[in-house]
Amino acid sequence: MTPRLITTCLFAALLCGASAAVAQTPGYDDRQMDAGEAAQLQVMREAVAAYHERIAVELAASGKPRDLAFAAGLLKAAHRTPPEASPEGDLPSQPSPRDPRVARWLQLASARAGSDVLANMLVLQAADGVDAAIRTRAADRWRQVEPDNLAPLLVSGSPVDAWLTRAGAFTRMDFHYYEQLRWTQATLVAHPPRAEEQAIFGGTDMAPDTTATLHAADLLAVSMPAFKPLYTACHGDALEATPTRAADCRHVGEIAAERSDISLASAIGLSLLQANGESSTQLADARERRRRQDWRMLEWGRISASQPDQGAAQFARLLRDPAVRSEQDLIDRVLAEAGVSGDPPAGWQPPQR
């Protein structure tokens, strides 16, 4: 691996939201580096952490709840120790001694967030592993603003059994992902790397707003909700927990499949519908909807991979359009621009999972 390739891998990892993200770049394995390459990578990791810490301080100085919460999250990431390579694979990054500014900024952000959904979401994410009480209060404030939205319960990790019996009260699963992405991207654009930082990060042919978009997406990738508890509660023996469990799971599956803004939630929803269908008609419908989603996701990946920058510039351009409010909207646009139908050809089946 050449020093230039290390630079490319690190930049492709979008300035390493948690520094260790670079190890997940396709084709990248830091165990294959020699001593000089490893030293260069460590310098770059330290520069990324310093960059995150610098802009965290700048953001916190504004005193605004969104800025404070995002600053806390950046500082937490900056102080996270990268994983050590092992024969079994990369271990999760390890927490370092916590900077007291993280707790202070989180407390201020929580006190000032009020009914601002995005501010409360940023507090939820930054407080993960730091302050459970602050996370609970942020989730409660979000739910008060959007009582029909199941997303706050999932993001906060609320026990599934505590809310599943009243699933009928929820009509959507909106994580406001693209709203978060736009705000985070704009914030990063407003706080670009300095010349000396950029010199360490390495060169790139991407426009600054494209780089910021990908960096924002990388930072948000670590805040995706854990769907496993919901999946477990709606499969197998767990379906016998209550007389209405299967119906409740079908309702959650339907709103996740049709009224969520991220494809991951849609896929989980379709899985719940397949596991809890009451009739052969319902099961066939769920399978056909899953087939359509698989087609769209695979074609999106193929189209992006065919572009020199893996679709980065197109992604950033489409994000600037406020009409793109969800991942489904984005996929619609990517497929349309490539002249690809959103519906699979008759008889098409996805590769075996």
Distance CA 268, CA 259 (A): 12
Distances (CA, A) of 252 to 125, 169, 273, 277: 23, 10, 9, 12
Q: What is the mean pLDDT of residues 50-54?
A: 93
Instruction: Kindly state whether residue 317 falls inside one of the protein's structural domains.
Output: yes
Q: Which residues contact 195 (CB under 8 A, 6 or more apart)?
A: none
Non-local (6+) Cβ contacts of 253 within 8 A are 234, 268, 269, 270, 271, 272, 273, 276
Is residue 275 located within the same domain as residue 318? Answer: yes
User: Does residue 216 sit in the same domain as residue 272?
Assistant: no
* Domains: count for the chain: 2
Residue 173 per-residue DSSP state: B
| 91 found inside a domain | no
For residue 21, the model assigns a pLDDT of: 34
Backbone angles phi and psi of 227, in degrees to 5 = -90, -10
185 & 245 share domain: no
Same domain, 112 and 256: no
Tell whether 350 is covered by a domain: no
Question: What per-residue confidence (pLDDT) applies to 202?
Answer: 65
Give the separation between CA 158 and CA 136, rounded to whole angstroms.
9
Alpha carbon distance 280, 37 (integer Å): 57
Q: Indicate the length of the chain as a whole number.
A: 353
- Domain check: are 206 and 277 in the same one? no
- 21 and 147 in a common domain: yes
> Are 128 and 176 part of one and the same domain?
yes
Residue 102: both structure tokens together: 């993280």
**Does one domain contain both 260 and 317?**
yes
Indicate whether 25 pLDDT > 50: no
Residue type for 219, please?
Answer: L
Same domain, 164 and 250: no
At residue 108, does pLDDT exceed 90? yes
Within this chain, do residues 264 and 286 fall inside the same structural domain, yes or no? yes
Q: Do 210 and 249 share a domain, yes or no?
A: no
**Biggest distance spanned by C-alpha atoms of the chain:** 63
Q: Does 237 score more than 90 pLDDT?
A: yes
Among candidate residues 221, 253, 273, the one where a domain is terminated: 221
* Tokens 């507090």 found at: 123
* C-beta pairs of 345-353 under 8 Å, 24+ apart in sequence: 348/291, 348/295, 349/291, 350/291, 350/294, 350/295, 350/298
Is residue 347 domain-resident?
no
Q: What is the pLDDT of residue 195?
A: 84
Mean pLDDT to the nearest integer, 42-61: 91
Block residue for tokens 């508890």: 229
Regarding whether 241 and 193 lie in a shared domain, the answer is no
Q: Which of 59, 50, 100, 56 is nearest to 75 (CA)?
A: 56
Asked whether residue 78 is domain-assigned, the answer is: yes
- pTM attached to this predicted model: 0.85
Structural domain range at position 63 = 3-83+97-221
353 confidence band (pLDDT: 50, 70, 90): low
Start-to-end CA distance of the chain, whole Å, equals: 32
